[in-house]
Structures are given as C-alpha cells and as structure tokens.
Structure 1
Amino acid sequence: MGTSLFSLVIAATFFSSSIVLTVSGPLYVDSITTLNFTASNYQYIDNSGAFLASNNQIFKATITNPLTQLTNFYFSVIHAPSGTIVWSANRNKPISNSGKVRLTEESLSVIDDSGVIVWSTTQFRSNIASLKLSDDGNLVLLDGSNSSLWQSFENPTDTIILGQRLPVGSSLVSSVSNIDFSEGEYVFSVTSNDGLLRWNGLTYWKLSMEINASIDSYSPVSFLQINGTGLFLFGFNESVIVIHLAITPFNFSIAQLGSEGALTLKRFVGSNWVQDFAWPSSYCQIPFVCDKIGLCSARVCSCPLGFHKSTAGGCVPANSLLSLPSCNASDNGNQLNNSSISYLNLGNNVDYFSNAFMQPAKRGVNLSLCQELCTQNCSCLGLFHGNSSGNCYLLENYLGSVMSSSSGTDRLGYVKVLVKFSNENPNGTQSQNQSFPLVGLILIPPSAFLLLLTIVFLGIFWWRKHKLSRTGSAKLGGGDYSSGELELISFSGLPVRFEYEELAAATENFKTQIGFGGFGVVYKGTLPDKSLVAVKKINSIGVQGKKEFCTEIAIIGKIHHINLVRLKGFCAQGRQRFLVYEYMNKGSLDRSLFENGPVLEWQERFDIALGTARGLAYLHSGCEQKIIHCDVKPENILLHDNLQVKISDFGLSKLLSPEQSCLFTNLRGTRGYLAPEWLTSTAISDKTDVYSYGMVLLEIVRGRKNCSMPVQSHGLENDSTEGDDPSSSTSGLETRPVYFPLLALEMHEEGRYLELADPRLEGRVTSEKVEKLVRVALCCVHEEPAIRPTMSNVVGMLEGSVTVGQPRVESLNFLRFYGRRFTEASRHEGFGEANGNEFFSQRNSATFNSTAVDSHNSFSYMSSQQVSGPR
C-alpha cells in the first residue's frame, strides 16, 4: 500500500513537471507558417498571451483580457509599447484563458472551452499558407504565392491606425465599455462625401462641419486614412484630397471611437498618448452623454424642469401621474384606454443633438399639428417645433440626452407622456376620492375653460408689453437699448462679442483704412493677442442695415471653410455696429489682378479660381443650409499669404431653406457680374452665383475688367475700322473698349484660346490651360440657369475629376447683344469706368429673348452701392 502510494506521488510529480515545461510556447516573429497551429492565453502566459510579434516588435498578436481580474479574453492585435488594443476578433463573444486560437489551411478561428467556434474567417479561394503580422499592425492571412486572403485592416473594430484605410461603406463601431468589447451604439461611417458619427442611425457630427477641417474637393470619397500629416478623406486615388484635417507630424497615431461616443485622434509620444482632437468638440453634442432625457449644460448633467432622476437611469416625469409611453402594441393600447397623451415642455434654450442634421417631418405647421403628428405615430417619443419656421422634428424610437443652448434656439422641445387617472374601480369609472390629474383641464366645462384661457392670454400680453416698455429705454454704451437690439442680443449663433472700446484700441481709433463699401469702412486692427483683424464699421443704422447685420453675424459665425473669410466677432454697442474679420494681408483680387504691380502667374490664377470655386461650392452644398452669395466679384475675393484665397461678404446673402431657394427675388449684386435672371421673373438660385463666377473667371484669364478702359495691347483687342466686330484687330493702341465675354465666345468658336490670355504673361501659359478656364467660364455664363454647372461640378472640372463641359453657343448669343450695346454706349456716352457697365441697365427684363426690344428700366437709375450692398 505504501509502495503504491509512493509510486503515485512520483508519477504525479513527474506529470506536473512536464506540464510546467510545456506551458510556455515560443513567440513567433513576423509570421506563423506551421499549420494546425493552436494557442491559448494559458499556453503563452509568459508572453502575456502573445504568440506572434511584428518584425519591429511594435505590434503583437495576443489572447488577452482588458483587466487582469477579468475572465473575458479576446484574440487581439495590440500596440506593444502602450498595451493599447487596436483590433479584436471575437469582440462580441469573449473566451476564457483556456480558449484557443487555431490556424489551419482552411481558416483562422477562435474556439471556446467547449470547442465551439465563436469567430472565424470565411472560406477562401486557396489554402492558407501563413499568418503574418506586418510592421504597420496589419494581421494578414497569405496563400502559397504570398497573396493576401484576409487582413484585419479590412475588418476594423473601433480603431484605425496609421496607414490603415477605411473605405466608403465601412465603419468603426464603439465598444460597450473599456472592459466590454461588445459592439455599442455609436458608429463612425465613411460616406461618398463625408465622415459621419451616428447613434442608433441618427447623425450627430460631420467631419466637413469641423472648424479645423478643410474641404479641398467635391469629388466622390473613396476612403479615409491617417498618414504622417493628418486625417484625410481621399478620392479614387491619393492624389485627390476631398477633406483633410492637418495635425502635428507624429510617429504613430490612432483614431478611436470611444465607448462614450467621441471619436478621438491621438499619437504616442515617449511613453504616453497625446490627444490631438476629440469629436464632436462640444461634449453635450454626444447623444447619450447624460442618459435618457438628461440635460447637458457645460459638461454637467441634470434633469429638465418637470423631470427627476430615475433609479433606472436617465430622467422621468416628476409627476407620478405621468409616464413615458411604450410602442408595444398591446401595452400601448391598454395604456390609452385609461390615459390621455400630453406633452411636457423641456424649457427654453434646450435643443437636441440630431436637429441640425435631419430634415423636419413637416414644415410650416403650428405646434398643435406637430403634436398631432407625434400622437398618431406610435414610435414618436417627443418633438421639437420651430416657433418662426414652423418646422416639426419628431424624435422616434429612441430618446437621447438634450442639451442647453447658450446662444438660444428658436425650437421648443416636448416629450410625449401618458397622463393616468388614479384610483379607478374595477368597472373603469373614477372613484370619489380620485386625485385631480395634471391635465385635469380636459375635465373643466368648455365655458370655464375658455374664460380661463382668455385670462391667461391677457396676462401674458400685459406682461410682455410691460417688459418691453421697461427695457426699451435701457442704456447700452451711451445709446438707446431698443427692442431691436434686444432681438440682436438673443439672436442665435452669435460669435465673440467685442466692446466698442476694445475695437477703438485695436484700430488706434480707426486710424488705418483698408477698404470701404456701401455699408461702411474697413479698418486694420491688432487684438491684444497680436492677431491682425479687419474691422468693418457699419454706418447704415436703418431697418435694412440692422437686418443685414443680424443675418451676417449669425450666419458667418457658424461657417468655417479654408476658402471663406472667418468672422472672428462683432460689436453692437449703442448705435455702433462692427464686424471683426480675420485679416487678409494681400488685399482683394482686383488689386492683384488689375492694378500695376507684379503680374499674377498662370498657376497662381488657376489656384485662385479653384479656391474661389471651392468656397462657393461649400456655400451652396456644404453648409447645413444653402447660402447664395449674390455678389461674387474680384473685390469680394481676398488673398492672404501665398495667395491663399478667401471669399468675403457672403453673410449679406440670403440663407435659404429648400422651399425658399426658388423664391428669392431681392435685387442685389454688382453690374457686370449680375446674371440675366436678376432683370427677369426667373427665380434667383445658386446658379446666379455660378454666372458671376464665370464672369470673374474671364477676368482672371484676361487680367483686366470685362469692360475696361482702352490700353496698349498686343494686337488682339485693338481697333478695327471694319464694322463692329469686337474680335477684329490691328496693331497699335486700342481706340475703343472691348466686351471681353463676347470676345471669349468668338475666340472659342474659332479655337483661338491662347490669344485670350493676359498679354503680360508673355507666353508663359499654354493654349490648353487657357482653353480649360475659358470653356468652364462660358459654361458658367449660359443664359439659362438650368444648364449652368453647379459649383461642385465646376470644382470637379478644374480638378480634372469631371470632364470639362462644352459651352452651348445658342445659350450664349445674348453676349452678342451685350457687345453691341457696350460698343454703342462707349461711343455715344464716352467711355469711363462708371459708364462701362451702364449698358447692362438699358435692357428691359423681357429683352433677354432674341426678339426683344431695348428700353430703360429702373435698374438703370440705381447707384452702384444700392445694387451692390456692402463690400
């Protein structure tokens, strides 16, 4: 018995020793070529679960758990220096430390303790030969000819790393938490034109709207990638950049969608991660940051008025007689038998994350109809209604957090609730001791209800009138603080506000004037942080001036694009009105193009044309709502260092809703750049800007105004004694002006493009390059707006991603009329800069047809400032 027991002890000791000797497996470097390979965390515990490392030792393939005390293990790729997991296979089905990763000729798979496959690659066209972990962190399955069968870069989880591409249609999906890698509710998707963050299908952030993002092209997006200089959305190849976000150069970086819903971009420096960006930049814009119906304000969560915190999370109605409805058919039906639907107001200056990204369910309706739409929709849980616009936004299926709006909002939010009657007897009738419900007004007799409603209405009317009478005489900076200024102060979306004294000090009491326009003068200034600014003083204090001022500061303050002048702030103190812009040290395009000075080279002109087109394309289709500039001209195209181009004064345009886009008829613009539809009954649209851009493009080609003074020429524009053909020329001095758009049309018909180029270039441009700009310009100035290209298409034609259009001569014949009228005006009235455009005034709105006759209209008697507005 004793001998047998001793033998068993010896055998057990030997067996356990052999286990210890085989626990630790070798760490494979670069690749595993042994098929039928199996690994577990327990087997490779000495390597922290890692069984494969990249050649540079920066990445490892491992079976690991997020925290040492957790029993959930994942097959992952980690960034070894930081221990950060950048990819995981079985994120939705974790295994134990004895679960296995198996590599065979058919697949790579993850198997749990019971032998069930919880994750696996699909079948391939050929057998697997090896598993390789590249130096950039990509886990790849290769066949016998070293061709890729599968790779982790094409199957991302919540992270992409330096060099990895995220194609259109693919997504990053957040984890539930930092210790639970299961797929969460937040998704980052790459679309054909943008990068979007979504929660339960609702968009809450767009890359194109980020202040630091630059839109460089309107070509279709192919993929997103992080490289050594930033985050990029590329077109069909890496030579076409659609959107980019530049950051400090770095060695290793990741973009990660966190479990809390923010997309972060960070780089590894030394031994720590440095976060460069986190989107959305507003913490409260994250959909579920404060749980259901939680109110987020300055990163602090609370409950809206009329709600309190629930033990289950989020906020619920404070009144016990109210409950949030369910869309379960049977439950909802039973609830409605004993209750009424009502709506709890979320309070003033409260907004919802998705309102800025979704279309209203209905436009131009009153609150009652909006609520009725929600009542009839079982999945509707709440709504937002625009007081002035009448836009009705329905919150369906899910309720996220709401957020406080510091600048105010025109929308009011309501949550749908069920109002229950208490103490009901089994027969469904109310007992004598029933408590009065919150919406007991429905039980009041109609006559009493109407009387009560009248009293409340009169009370509100008296209170508002009394408040206005008290505030109407308040003082602000020595001027009258009128009700109109009160409206300005509460205007939504205002940028930084400056005091008058700050701007007076910045401009040295408005010492240096750098420009002027119809509404005021522009001065150069320096802010305390040493940044240069252009301060526009608004002189007109009329009703129209205030309206334009409010529109400009509210719209421009929200618009950010590399080719649009940024509004840094404003001042509204007493009767003083100022706009503070970023300073453009090269001035406006007309100075560089038309005045004596260094000649703009052709590439510089092309870059200016492309930058201007990109800015206009963003106004037309990249903003939350369409913006039409209405005064595109060289004076409103500003230049900065390296001739970076930015469009100014677009805040004077109308901000159009889809319904309004064909109804805008107020006359605005500058003669010489006005599209024909300004003088007809044709609707004004974004194609009006396209026409003006085409006229500017012709001036960029020629280097002079389309209607200009006689100058010494190289022969093309010289006088001819044979008829009125503007294209006829001899050598010598011009003795009459030439209407250049007509000349461009005629040279296009003859294929003589090089002769249209600025003679000061002295042959430093090819005919093909001139042809490209001339054809684009002529397409832009077609008489019929419908056949003009969009500005997005113009950008594509200039970049080469869209075929350059062929101008339709039949839609350009009106230029021949313009040319004749211009010649007659210059001969009979004498030629000067003021008269150069006067002939545009002498055509009746009906005369744009080929059979029309000439006549004067009221447009001829408008001054330049009346027509153009501020510049």
Structure 2
Amino acid sequence: MDFILFFLILSLSSIPVFGFTLTEFVYPNFTASNLHFIDSTGSFLVSNNGTFKAAIFNPGSEQVNFYLCVIHAESNTIIWSANGDAPVSNSGIMRLTKNGIDITEKDGSFKWSTPPLKSEVYALQLTAAGNLILRDQFNGTLWQSFDHPTDTIVIGQKLRVGMMLSSAISGDALSKGHYRLSLTASDTMLQWQNLTYWKLSMETQAYTNSNYAVEYMSVNQTGLYLFGQRGSAVVIMVNLLQSTFRIAKLDDSGQLIVISFVGSDIKRDFVGPVDACRVPYVCGGLGVCTSDVLSDNPKCSCPANFNLRSHNSSSCVPSDSSYSLPVSCNSTNYSNLSNSSSMSYIRLGFGMDYFTTGFTKPFRYGVNLSVCQNLCSVDCSCLGIFYANSSGSCYKLEDEIGSIMLRTSTNNDLLGFVKILSGVSNDSFDQETADFPLVAIVILPFTGIFLLMALAFILWRSKPQRMGKIKSKKNQPSSPSSEDLDDFSIPGLPVRFEYKQLEAATDNFKTQIGTGGFGAVYKGVLPDNSLVAVKKIINLGIQGQRDFCTEIAIIGNIHHINLVKLKGFCAQERQRLLVYEYMNRGSLDRTLFGNVPVLEWQERVEIALGSARGLAYLHSGCEQKIVHCDVKPENILLHDNFQAKISDFGLSKLLNREQSSLITTMRGTRGYLAPEWLTSSAISDKTDVYSFGMVLLEIVSGRKNCSARTQSHSLDDTATGDHSSSSSARGLVYFPLFALEMHEQGRYLELADPKLEGRVSGGDIEKFVRVALCCVHEEPSLRPAMVSVVSMLEGEIPPTEPRMESLNFVRFYGRHFSEASTMEEAGGQTDAMLYVQANTSHTTSRSISNAYFSYISSQQISGPR
C-alpha cells in the first residue's frame, strides 16, 4: 500500500498542477496557464503571508491578453508583470525549468523568458514583500522581479539610480506606454520622449537635502523617499500619513501616484504632477489642455484652425485639408516633402504654454521671431516653436508635439507656432487672391498690419537710444551684438540690477577682492545690508557675450550648498556684471598659501569634502552634466566655518549625460591641466577629477605643487638611489612626484604641511594621497567619478589602490620639471624646448609632454574669475 501511495505521489509531481494554488515555492518542471486554475485570477502561487499572489492574469474586461503578474491579493492590484509587451491568450503557458521561466503560446511560439542564469534553478519563490525570485540550490538569488520593475514599486523594494519605471498603455493593456520615471544622483523625474516634465523636488511638500547623492528611491509606511549614503541619508522626502501598505506607481495617466491600501479601500496619498495639464500627452498631439479646478480630469480641445484627426483620435490636425502637419525626419514615417510642399506656420491662440519651456533651456536667446522660425524651418526634426517676446528666447518642438497648456497668467508672453505644409508651390503665391487657401486669405492681411505696427513700435522705442549713442559715441564702431543683449532676461533669476545700483553698492568699485581673465571682482553692500561679490566683466568680445549668457542661464538655476550662489546680474548696454553671494574667508589659495593662521587638518578635510561634493553635484546632480574645466584653489571659496564652495563653473562646457564631446578651446591653469587637454582627447567630467586630485595634494602639503623645496620636504638621495628624481633635485620640486615616491615607500607623514606640526596621523594623509593619486591617473577611464571620490573621503568605501603604470605622466613631468625651471630662470632652456632633450620610451607620456611644454606657458589660460 505504501509503495502504491509513493508511486502515485511521484506520478503527480511530474504533471502540470490543475485547480489549486501553491504557497511560497514552486519547483522546476512546473507548468501553469490561466485555464489550469479555478481561481478567477489564474493564480498559481501565493506568498506565505497571503499578501501577494502570482497569476496568469488579464486585467481587462474582454479577457483577451494575459500576463504573468504579481498581484496584491486584497485589492487585486498588479504590482509587476513579465510579458507586458508580449501578452498571451488564456491558453498561453508559463513553464519553470532549471534554466528559468519562459512564456509561450499553446503552440509553442515564444513570448518571454528570464535571461540566461549563472546556475540551475532550484525553486521559484514569491516572498512576503511581493518579490518573485529564482533561487539556486544554496538559496542564492539568480534573478528577481524587484531588479526589473515595470510601473510600480512596493514597500521593501529599491528603485536604484539607473533603473526606471515605464507606464502601461492603459489599465487593460500592460505594454509600455509614453511615460518614464527615472532616477538621477539628485532627483527623480518624469519624462516623455526623453524630455523632462516633472521633478519630485518641485513639490512644495518635498523636503530636500542636496548634500548627498541619491542612490535609490523607496516607499514605506511613512512616505516617499530618495536615499543616499547607503540608506543612512535622506536626500528628498515626502512625508505621508502612516499606512501599513502602500505602492508608488507611474500611472498610465503620466502621473506618479502613491496609493495606500486599508483593507479593500484604496486612497491616493500623493500625485505628481498635481496639475494633469503638465503631463505632455494628456490631450494628445496638439490638444489644448485646460485645468478644471472642480475636477481632477482636465478639459481637452483643439486650437483655433484645428480639428480632431478622427472621432477615435485625440490628436489635432489643421481644419483646412489643404494643409498637413510634417513628420519629423527622426521618425520612421518620415518622407521628404520639401520639394513638393510649401512650408508656413499657424499661430496658436493667446495664453498657450508648453511643458518643455520650464525644463529645457531655449535653443537660442535674444533673437527675433523671424530668426526663431527660420531656425525651425531649416531643421527637419523641428515641428513648431514657442517664442518668448520679452527675452527673445526660442524653443523648438522637436520629433513629436505633445499637448498644449492653456494658461490664464497675465505674465505669460509665449507665442506658439506650428509648422504646416501645403501642396501649393512657392510660385502659386503670386497668383490672384482667389487661389489662396482660406487660412492664408484671413491670416495675411492681419499679419501685415501686425508687422507694420510692431515695426513702428520698435523704431519709436529705439530712436531715443540710437540718437543718444550717436551723440556720445559718434566716432566709435558700433557693436550690434552687444546691443542685442540690452533687453536680455532669463526667467527665474532672482534680481536684475541696474548698473547704477551696483556702482553704488560697490562705492564706485572701490574694493577689489579678486581678478581674473575677463575682469575683476569687487566687494559690495546691497541696500538690505547683505554683502555681495560683484564680478565686472571687461573686454567682452563675441565669445565673451556667449559665455556671459551661458553663465547667467546656468548658475541661476543651480543651487547646492557647495556651489557659489548667483544672486543677480546686470546686462545694461555694454556693461556685464554678475552678483554673487559674498564668501567672507576668500579663496582657498589665500588660506593655504598665504600668511594666515594654519588650517587644521579637520578643516582641510571639510574643505576637501565640500569641494568634492560640489563637483559631484555638477557632474551627476544636474539635469545636464557640467564640466568645470578649471578646478584649482583660486576657484574654491570659503565661507563661515571654512565651508567650501565651487565658483566660476558658469563658463563650463555642457555635456550630454550619455556622451562627452571635444572642447576645442583650451581652458584651465598650468599645474592642474589633465593630459587629455594636450592630446586632442575627449574632455569629460574626468578632466575635473584630475584637477581635483592636484588640489587635494596641495591641501595635504599646504603649498603649490610646483614650488621651491623646503627643508621639511626633502628626501635623502640614498633612499631611492635615483639622483634624477625631482624629489632629490635642487631648487624647485614637483610635489605630485614626491607624493608618488613617498606613497611607494609608505612615508606619508613627510607629505604633511609642516605647519601642522604633527597634528595629523599618517593614516589620514595616506587616505588623501591615495585618493589624489587615483584622480591623476593618465587614462581618464581609470580615474574615479567624483561621487566615488566623496565616498572615499567620507570613509564609506576604502580608497582605491593607485595604478602605478598609469602614473608615468607624473613621473615624466616631475623628473624634468626642476631642470627645466632652473634653466628657464638662467635664460637657457624654456618649457617649449624641454621635450627636445627629454628621452623616454613611454610613447603616451612623450606625446603628452611634448604638447604640454610646447603650448602651456607659466600663465593661466582660463576664463574669467
């Protein structure tokens, strides 16, 4: 009898399970489909606490498309799905084998599977947190659904930087929709067509601490959080009412919603953005969205001269059928119609706005409307424009046009225009009026009147100014490019000062506190008694104007505790001034190298950490990566308690987050320039890392890296047996090479600033030197990111061991620095001649050094201070 029972159990284990649900685990050779299970959801597995179930499930009423899902049992809410883009019928089959999970139709046609695994599957587990895990025989995790989120995260799940949520098309269809939620090192954002339309930090109830980099997002019983420091630091927090279970979901509406469940009751705790009209495609292409204060649902309509494409479509098209909307050349449906169609623009009504104007910088500043339209006309990816009258800012609408927001604000001066095509050739515009399309008949007379009125107004407004300039500057050459900026403004900047205001604040620019390549910096006092630093930019050429526009556009929208804050600006006639917060302790170079009280070691640590955090924010915390290009002690300013802040990052080059590009204009200062400046290599954030490593060595030693030897920084020649070493040369010494040699010998205390008089440990010096040497690796790819530098300085991760083979540039330059400097002082060899005599077998260092000594003089070649 026992034998028969054993045989029966063995037989049952080898066939599919029908009609009942298993708890927590299933094992290979398990098969399931919706038809196999009597549960209405098709569930085949339930977590041990009963909170979640796994099922072959269809969320819609038509019961057509089925998905492998993890479901919150009590509310029947899907929190994860496997085959969203490849649904199956109700007879579709899920198989668990030793190779993983695969989903097919009944006929065997493939739909979805887990990726290749490193070992065989022992079991499939549904945890109490709702995580579906493939485990090996040692209970190790081979794959888990939490690492592959769809549109939802639950309590206990971490959405890490690099992961994203994708909305579903609808509640019934789980394939990927229009919207994405992604995480950066400073925020979480919602995007459509890779364009941002919302950030968590925008919300009024969000608490923000920008001192740390974001590592992951999670939701728990008390709210929605962005965590850093391995979960020990809150970067952004939205506190919510206590709830035992809640989820954060990127809804198919394009909004991030946080939902709590109390029994079968569902409550929305948070919605972002609250205004649904800020969602880019809420009313379809070119649909006008109007917020309804009495309802959560916005009202949609088409602009004047537009109708719905069809009864089943939400997109709007020109009412006149002789016109059509172009398709972007980046679209698969693109066909070049430029030869057979004429191009023109239809203006949208008043009070229109577009989501990109608040998140992207204008394509051009300070241009007139016709220039803005021309910029769009020659770009086949441009489908329309928004133009700001007051600032001359031109925004392109590229690749696909979303919904238009209707605004009632009186200070909205945006004008929207949509590009249209017609089958009428250019020659047809010379025909009689009767041959014109109806829209053209109506628009052209009013357009002509409008243009005449606008021209008269411009001439009337500019006449007194021109007459004044002719009288006062009759013999001076005109500079139209300078005058174009007189009315330049950027929304969001706190204050635009008149020149007379800053002249009074600085007592006619009496107290100069700094100087740089483009001008000087003066101390000032505003009427509210706040101290400011006013940078007066002189000799402003065409390039200088472009840099100035870039600086005020960038700095005005960047806020971090370790970045100098721009308080305002002046752009009046030829005067260009920037107003910064005043840093009462001056620059780091004065504190490190000047005749001032010694910086204690802990103060140096705080300065190094603050500087590193500021650079890390520029590199990975901003929407666009910002490369400073001139990191040095003069550009690190100190405030109370030696709080360090990075300055002069506004003239940096902007790089896309996914790529670096060549910067053809060399910027920087001798002693801090990375090797890639000199070899036409790509300039990236790793260029700043190299410069920061050089600064870090100066913080350790308390002196310039290229400076005269002191007795405390000597090295016995016999210690190394290398009499050509810079550390044994007389006169000048190249400290980075000395630091490298001391690192190799473990003699770290010899690198410390002698003014510390032993008030620092060898271990503290070792950590800084290791980090610095890693930063100055010759190959940029071997340098750590600034976020990692911060973690190493904070002690969160151990400092990486420097790669000796990647420090040959330091060795090469250091061993010839002293000789070259001595001969230059004697009127003999110059930097440009040094390489002729240098003999080295290291090809890379040879080419770099040749460029280095040929092109870099002893002066700084950086931009304005």
- TM-score in same-fold range (> 0.5): yes
Q: Is this contact kept in 1: 2:227–2:236, CA < 8 A? A: no
Report the residue type matching 1:551 in the other structure. Answer: T
Preserved CA contact (<8 Å) 1:350 1:409 = no
Secondary structure in 2 matching 1:519:
strand
In structure 1, the partner of 2:648 is: 649
CA contact (8 A) 2:60 2:173 kept: no
The structure-2 alpha-carbon separation of the partners of 1:321 and 1:651, relative to structure 1 and needing over 3 Å to count, comes to: same
2:520 is aligned to: 519
Name 1:769's counterpart in structure 2.
767
Q: CA deviation at 1:166?
A: 5.0
Distance 1:682 1:643, change over 3 A: same
Displacement of 1:727:
3.8
Which residue of structure 1 lines up, in the alignment, with residue 79 of structure 2?
86
User: Contact 1:204/1:286 (CA < 8 Å) preserved in 2?
Assistant: no
Aligned to 1:478: none
Please tell me the residue identity of whatever aligns with 2:835: N
- CA shift at 1:292, angstroms? 0.6
Q: Is the 8 A contact 1:286 1:353 kept in 2?
A: no
3-state DSSP class of the match of 2:421? strand
Counterpart position of 2:155: 162
Q: 1:127 to 1:755 in 2, by over 3 A?
A: closer
Residue 401 (str. 1) matches residue 406 (str. 2): no
One-letter amino acid of the counterpart of residue 278, structure 1: G
Structure 1 counterpart SS, 2:167? strand
- Tell me whether 1:323 sits opposite 2:320 in the alignment: no
1:197/1:204 contact within 8 Å kept? yes
Can you list the C-alpha shifts for 1:94-145, whole angstroms capped at 9, x where unaligned? 999xx99999998999999x9x9999998999999897550x2335688999
2: CA distance between counterparts of 1:269 and 1:710? Answer: 72
Q: Which residue of 2 aligns with 1:497?
A: 495
The answer as to whether partners of 2:485 and 2:571 remain within 8 angstroms in 1 is no
Partner of 2:694: 695
**The residue matched to 2:343 in structure 1 has which SS?**
strand
In structure 2, which of residues 459, 462, 471 is the aligned counterpart of residue 468 of structure 1? 462
Q: Supply the RMSD in Å over aligned alpha carbons.
A: 7.4
Matched, 1:278 2:272: yes
- Output aligned runs, 1:166-245, within 5 Å: 166=159, 172-177=165-170, 183-188=176-181, 199=192, 202-204=194-196, 245=235
Q: Relative to structure 1, is the Cα distance of residues 579 and 161 closer, same or farther in structure 2, using a 3 angstrom cutoff?
A: farther
Q: Deviations over 1:407-458 (max 9, x none)?
A: 999999653434479xxxxxxxxx99975336989xxxxxxx9xxx999999
Of residues 228, 237, 242, the one that matches 1:247 is: 237
Q: Secondary structure of 1:261's match?
A: coil
Secondary structure, in 3 states, of the residue corresponding to 1:487?
coil
How far residue 555 of structure 1 moved from its aligned partner, in angstroms, is 1.8
How far apart in 2 are the matches of 1:285 and 1:166? 24
How far off is 1:676 after superposition? Answer: 9.2
Contact 2:287 2:302 in 1 (8 A): yes
Superposed CA offset, 1:289-326 (max 9, x none): 34212367999977667646666434322434313368
Asked whether the equivalents of residues 386 and 394 of structure 2 are also in contact (C-alpha less than 8 Å), the reply is yes
Q: Which amino acid aligns with 1:765?
A: G
- Aligned equivalent of 2:437: 437
Deviations 1:36-86 (A, max 9, x none): 99999x9989xx999998677766789999999999999976668988653
Residues in 2 aligned to 1:149 and 1:740: alpha-carbon distance in whole angstroms:
49
* Number of aligned residues: 750
| Closer/same/farther in 2, CA of residues 490 and 815 from structure 1, 3 Å limit | same
| Paired position in structure 2 for 1:601 | 601
Amino acid of the residue matched to residue 246 of structure 1?
I
1:849 is matched by which residue type in structure 2? Y
8 Å contact 1:568–1:582 — kept in the other structure? Answer: yes
The percentage of counterpart residues that share the same residue type is: 37
Specify every segment of 5 or more residues in structure 1 that has no aligned partner in the other structure, as ranges.
1-24, 375-379, 422-430, 442-448, 476-481, 730-734, 781-786, 829-838
- Going from structure 1 to structure 2, the CA distance change for 1:496 and 1:190 (only over 3 Å counts) comes to closer
Q: Supply the distance in 2 between the matched residues of 1:366 and 1:764 (Cα, whole angstroms).
A: 61
2:32–2:44: 8 Å Cα contact kept in structure 1? no
User: Per the alignment, do residues 677 and 409 of structure 1 end up closer, same or farther by CA in structure 2, a change over 3 Å counting?
Assistant: farther
1:469-507 superposed Cα distances (whole Å, 9 cap, x missing partner): 3676999xxxxxx99577354445652336679999x99
Is the contact made by 2:96 and 2:102 (CA closer than 8 Å) also made in structure 1? Answer: no
> 2:251 aligned with 1:258, yes or no?
yes
Partners of 1:741 and 1:470 lie apart in 2 by: 60
Calculate the TM-score normalised by the size of structure 1. 0.60
Residue 747 of structure 2 corresponds to residue 756 of structure 1: no
Going from structure 1 to structure 2, the CA distance change for 1:355 and 1:368 (only over 3 Å counts) comes to farther
Residues 193-230 of structure 1: CA distance to partner in whole angstroms, max 9, x if unpaired? 9988554x645469899996969679xx9x87667997
* Residue type at the aligned position of 1:772: R
Bigger shift: residues 743-752 or 64-73: 64-73
Classify 1:642/1:244 alpha carbon distance in 2 versus 1 (closer, same or farther; 3 Å).
farther
Cα 1:156–1:484 shift into 2, 3 Å: same
Aligned counterparts of 1:267 and 1:566: Cα–Cα separation in 2: 40
Q: Secondary structure at the match of 1:342?
A: strand
Q: Distance in 2 between matches of 1:367 and 1:148?
A: 56
State the Cα distance separating 1:536 from its structure 2 match.
2.6
Q: Distance in 2 between matches of 1:749 and 1:149?
A: 42
Amino acid of the structure 1 residue aligned with 2:462: L
SS of residue matched to 2:650 = helix
Match of 2:832 in 1: 846
CA distance in 1, matches of 2:705, 2:339: 76
Structure 2 counterpart of 1:552: 551
Structure with greater Cα Rg: 1
Does the 8 A contact of 1:727 with 1:743 survive in 2?
yes
CA distance in structure 2 between the partners assigned to 1:801 and 1:268 by the alignment: 45
CA distance in 1, matches of 2:834, 2:501: 48
- Contact 1:290–1:401, Cα closer than 8 Å, also in 2: yes
Secondary structure (helix, strand or coil) at the match of 2:317 reads strand
Distance 1:580 1:437 in 2: 53
User: Shift in Å at residue 699 of structure 1?
Assistant: 0.5
Q: How is 1:716-731 mapped onto 2 (pairs within 5 angstroms)? A: 716=714, 727=727
Deviation at 1:639, TM superposition (A): 5.4
Matching residue's letter, 2:495: R
For residues 660 and 39 of structure 1, the distance between their equivalents in structure 2, rounded to whole angstroms, comes to 52
**Which amino acid in structure 1 is aligned with residue 493 of structure 2?**
P
Moved more, 593-602 or 506-515: 506-515
Change (3 A) 1:260 1:245: farther
Matched, 1:537 2:534: yes
Distance 2:809 2:171 in 1: 65
Matches within 5 A, 1:427-826: 435-437=435-437, 465-469=459-463, 487=485, 489-492=487-490, 494-497=492-495, 516-517=514-515, 518-522=519-523, 535-540=532-537, 543=540, 549-559=548-558, 563-567=562-566, 569-570=568-569, 579=578, 588-590=587-589, 593=592, 599-601=599-601, 605=604, 608-609=607-608, 612-613=611-612, 615-616=614-615, 619=618, 627-638=626-637, 645-653=644-652, 661-665=662-666, 673=672, 689=688, 692-706=691-705, 714=712, 716=714, 727=727, 740-741=735-736, 743-744=738-739, 747=742, 752-759=747-754, 760=756, 761-762=758-759, 764-766=761-763, 768-769=766-767, 771-776=769-774, 778-779=776-777, 787=779, 793=785, 804-806=802-804, 807-809=806-808, 812-816=811-815, 818-820=817-819
Q: What is the SS of the residue equivalent to 2:767?
A: helix
Shift of 1:779: 3.5
